[in-house]
Amino acid sequence: MRKVVLLCAAGMSTSMLVKNISVAAKEEDYEIEVTAHTISDAKSVVPGSDIVLLGPQVRFNLNGVKDKFPDIPVKVMDMEAYGKMDGKKIVALIRKTLND
C-alpha cells in the first residue's frame, strides 16, 4: 500500500479531493492511503510517505519540500485536476511518478 500525502494551504479543499482520489484508486484496485494536511504540518506528516503532492496554491513551496525530503518524490498537482477534484487524474500522476 502506497502512502500519499497531500499538502495545501488550509487543508479544506484538499480533504475533499482525498475522497475522490481514494474512490478512483479503488476502481483501479490500486491500494493507497491518502491524507491531506496543511503545508505547515509537512515536517510531521511527510516522513514515511511514498509521495507528496502539493496543491497549486502552495506550489511555491516545491523546492523547500524537496530539499527537506530528498528521498521522497514531491509533485505539484495539476491546477485543472485539482480544481475539478479529478481523482482519476491525480491517481494517474501518483502511479506515473512511482512507476506503479
Q: Are strands 51-54 and 2-8 parallel, antiparallel or unpaired?
A: parallel
Enumerate the domain spans of the chain.
2-98
**Fold type of domain 2-98:** Rossmann fold (3.40.50)
Per-residue confidence band for 9, with pLDDT thresholds at 50, 70 and 90? confident
pLDDT, tens digit, for every residue of 25-76?
999 999 999 999 999 999 999 999 999 999 999 999 999 999 999 999 999 9
Catalytic residue among 5, 6, 7, 8: 8
Q: Rounded to 5 degrees, what angle do the CA atoms 24, 68, 16 make? A: 25
pTM recorded for the entire structure: 0.93
Is 8 designated active site? yes
pLDDT at 28: 96
pLDDT at 12: 67
